[in-house]
Amino acid sequence: MAGGDELELLGTWASPHVLRVRLALHLKDLSYEYVEEQDLKNYKSDELLLNSKLPVLIHDGKPVYGTSLSLIQYLDVAFAGAGSSLLPHEPSKRALARYWGDFMDGTLVKAMEKATWSVTCREKAEVRAQVAAAMETLEGALRECSKPFFGGDSPGYVDVVLGGLLPWLCVTDKRQPSVKTFNPITTPLLLSWQDCFCSLKKVQGLMPEVGELVDLAMPVPTHCSRESLQVILILSSLLVQIATACSR
């Protein structure tokens, strides 16, 4: 396997952006050292979703700067001879793949972030509508491919980008039971895609436990405003610090 001592990835298990890069590394058959950031207290659930610069990739001792999307593209170019190419070779198809990656971060990820703070029925309805619209758009894109994956017969760039969001999409469904992100009626192709993608041997074992992500997301009580919740979190943090100091 290519990579080896050349590649090191720093990140946290709960970040979909870190998961994307790890998926790309595995699908490219690249070996690497993964360093887990254990302290999640510095991250809120919405930051984990939106912070696309959270993973830090080091190649030959030098950090590679960029978002999770650009890091995937970097790996595909820097290790073009390893595994199968994630981005299409044809320029127009390559540009289209990048477009769908940007689309997901510009619409779907932002809607998922809103879901972590939606409290009122109106807010929840708006989030459901936004997620549903984005998923139906992706359903149309997959229909045009006429293949099991966005990348064709094997997973590619778009599959990796969406695949990294799968655990958090499941969190959205868990927190709002009436929501079915992968709807058998409106998005049957995506539902089949999800099964195919998650059944890949190179994907299995990388996906975080949804239950742990639900706990991390900390459902917002319906009677508590966002501002009130922030005060509660600050007070809780102070109590933990005081208890820690007293135990020394």
pLDDT tens-digit readout, 174-211: 777 666 889 999 999 999 999 999 999 999 999 998 88
Amino acid sitting at position 225:
S
The count of other CB atoms within 10 Å of the CB of residue 190 is 22
Give CA separation, 76 vs 53, 140, 162, in Å: 18, 26, 17
Q: For residue 182, give the nearest of 142, 218, 154 by alpha carbon.
A: 142
- Token pair 């946290």 in the structure block, residue: 12
Residue 232 has pLDDT above 90, yes or no: no
| pTM summary value | 0.80
Q: Residue 166: CA atoms inside 13 Å, Cβ hemisphere, count?
A: 25
Contact 129, 171 (CB under 8 A): no
The beta-strand segments (E) located in the chain are 7-11, 33-36, 56-59, 62-64
CA distance 216 to 232: 15
Q: What is the pLDDT of residue 119?
A: 65
Q: What is the pLDDT of residue 103?
A: 96
DSSP string for 74-85: HHHHHTTTSSS-
**Pure H helices in 6-108:** 16-27, 45-50, 68-78, 91-103
Q: For residue 164, give the nearest of 58, 69, 66 by alpha carbon.
A: 69
Q: How confident is the model at residue 51 (pLDDT cuts 50, 70, 90)?
A: low
Q: What are phi and psi of 55, to 5 degrees?
A: -70, 140
4-78 folds as Glutaredoxin (3.40.30)
Residue 108 has pLDDT above 60, yes or no: yes
> What number is the average pLDDT over the span 211-218?
79
CA distance 66 to 76: 14
Residue 145 has pLDDT above 70, yes or no: yes
Residue spans per domain, the chain: 4-78, 91-210, 218-247
Token pair for residue 231?
Answer: 């005060």
Residue 115 has pLDDT above 70, yes or no: no
CA distance 61 to 66: 16
Q: What is the mean pLDDT of the chain?
A: 81
91-210 folds as Glutathione S-transferase Yfyf (Class Pi); Chain A, domain 2 (1.20.1050)
Contact 151, 158 (CB under 8 A): yes
Percent of the chain surpassing pLDDT 90: 47
CA distance 246 to 119: 36
Residue 18 has pLDDT above 60, yes or no: yes
